[in-house]
Amino acid sequence: MAAWCARRGWPVFPLRAGHKTPRPGCSRCRQASDHYVPHAPAGCPCITQGRWCHGFYAATLDTERVARWWRERPVPGVGVATGPASLVVVDVDCHADGPVAASRVLPGFDVSEQEAQEVRTGLDTWKLLARLAGGPDAADAVQTLTVATPSGGRHLWFTAPRGTRWASSAGGDHGGRALGWQLDVRAEGGYIVAPGTLTQTGAYRAVGKVRLPALLPGWLAGALQRTGHLLQSVPRPRATAVPNLARQVAAPQAESAWASAVVATALAQVTECERLPEGSGWSTKLNKAAFTIGGLVAAGLVASDADARRALADAAMQARPQREQEAHRIIRSGLIAGQRRPLNPTKDR
């Protein structure tokens, strides 16, 4: 699971075997140690030396480091640093402690006393939030990676929109920023336990059919913004229209109109995934587009391999900006495979 997360661009670090807390670092980095030396975790030399000191500050995508860390015995759990991974995870607790005061249920919304009386756990808070913020009906499962926790709660994983940073918070019981009662937010400056991690109290299990995070939905982003969780929002660069990308790629030959149409169709199938949730075939469509355009490169109907890569990367990033590393791998292999079979107007692929 650690390697899988790292391949997706989610920095990982080891958790104590059987626990959900970070694995302890060296004696100079552990505050409980007699040899502790006060220092900022982010600048600790242990991290640059490949150690796991300071928990999520040490999170990495380095494949060799990940392999080495998870060869340890007993096998560590897997923590994901949510901020660098561009993830926003809502941790829905399920402790039957309600009812609570109406003002504490959802700080960003007006909650009536009657509504508050019906809230017993974080699952009730989540359903109420979805209703008040314009989300899906309570009976409908949110279409995103959902992880059941050993305590009976849920972790709802989302991908942050490109150019945004979101703050972490703890469920309304500690003062300060809060999305809702028993609704923790794991984002910047936090981490989440990866599915598949085993603890002494049970396993973190992915439930439902969706196995990847969906883009943070507008209704939830609005609720997070209302409660002070939005730290940064950079305007997204205007995407190049698919027909323009296609014209830029096609070589100036008699068949260029046909080649442009083929490229436009292939790229459009990739960019349309922007409107679709994760698990909608983005990687398959990107691979098919790269294979098709690779055939045009081999036939001399695309200006250059570099132009093809740029057009495919632009389309891929428009649809899934958080999966850049994976996109480049798919594009590279697809183009190589496609160039073994030149594609021209007399051949149908």
Q: What is the pLDDT of residue 235?
A: 58
Confidence band for 175, pLDDT divided at 50, 70 and 90: low
- Which has the minimum average pLDDT: 182-191, 238-247, 263-272? 238-247
Q: 217 versus 20: which is more confidently predicted?
A: 20
| Residue ranges covered by each domain of the chain | 1-78, 82-236, 242-338
pTM for this model (two decimals): 0.69
- Note the pLDDT tens digit of each residue in 300-339: 888 777 778 888 988 998 888 878 778 888 998 999 999 9
- Note the pLDDT tens digit of each residue in 55-91: 899 999 999 999 999 998 899 999 999 999 999 999 9
Q: What is the pLDDT of residue 218?
A: 85
Does pLDDT of 210 surpass 50?
yes
Please name the residues in contact with 31: beta carbons below 8 A apart, sequence gap of 6 or more.
none
Q: What is the mean pLDDT of the chain?
A: 87
3-state SS, one letter per residue, for the chain = CHHHHHHCCCCEEEECCECCCECCCCCCCCCCCCCCCCCCHHHCHHHHCCCCCCHHHHCECCHHHHHHHCCCCCCCEEEEECCCCCEEEEEECCCCCCCCCHHHHCCCCCCCHHHHHCCCCHHHHHHHHHHHHCCCCCCCCCCCCEEECCCCCEEEEEECCCCEEEECECCCCCCCCCCECCEEEECECCEEECCCCEECCEECEEECCCCCCEECCHHHHHHHHHCCCEEEECCCCCCCCHHHHHHHHECCCCCHHHHHHHHHHHHHHHHHHHHCCCCCCHHHHHHHHHHHHHHHHHCCCECCHHHHHHHHHHHHHHHCHHHHHHHHHHHHHHHHHHCCCCCCCCCCC
Does pLDDT of 285 surpass 80?
yes
Q: What is the pLDDT of residue 227?
A: 94
**CB-CB contact of 294 with 338 (8 Å):** yes
Q: 224 versus 33: which is more confidently predicted?
A: 224
- Structure token digits, residue 187: 């984002």
- Which has the minimum average pLDDT: 40-54, 110-124, 210-224, 293-307? 293-307
Closest by CA position to 145, among listed 194, 76, 218, 199:
194
Q: 277 versus 269: which is more confidently predicted?
A: 269
Confidence band for 349, pLDDT divided at 50, 70 and 90: very low
